[in-house]
Amino acid sequence: MLGNEYFWITVSLVIFLAIAFRMGWRSVLAKLDARAERIRKELEEAQALREEAQKLLAEHKGRQRDALKDAEAIIETARAEAKAMRVAAEQDLEEAIRRREQLAMDKIAQARQAAEAQLRQQAAELAVAAASRLIASNLDEGRRAALTDEAISEVNRKLN
């Protein structure tokens, strides 16, 4: 066995592998440890990024909810203002219609009064003219003057 060359080749191969294994094992283990540490760091970084992304997503959703609430509040305010404006416009329109109606009624009353005054004046003028003709034809000069004065004073009294 000791003289056998296969034996010595096998022993030398085992010794070589043991030395190579011992020397290489440490570097392999160091490389594996370094790789494991790098992977661990990457996982921690990925976890931190994931947590930050979730935090940002939650903030974004919160802002979106707040924006929707603000938009709804703005819409409600606009609706309330529009309703108030419509009510005010309706009241203003009703008031304007009432004022115009009253103005028209006042103009009609003024026109009626003017027409009545004009009619009275014309009637008075006709009565005076008729009385003048009648008196002129039936009375003498003295009596005519007295009646004319009396009629004029009566007309003035009635008109005033």
Burial of 115 from C-beta contacts in 10 A (0-12 / 13-18 / 19+)? exposed
Residue with the bigger pLDDT between 150 and 78: it is 78
Q: Which two tokens stand for residue 120?
A: 């009275």
Contact yes or no for 132/148 (Cβ under 8 A): yes
Contact yes or no for 147/139 (Cβ under 8 A): yes
pLDDT at 116 over 80: yes
Give the model's pLDDT for residue 2. Answer: 66
Give the model's pLDDT for residue 103. Answer: 94
* Rounded average pLDDT over 73-93: 94
* Rounded average pLDDT over 18-26: 78
pLDDT at 97 over 90: yes
Give the model's pLDDT for residue 86. Answer: 94
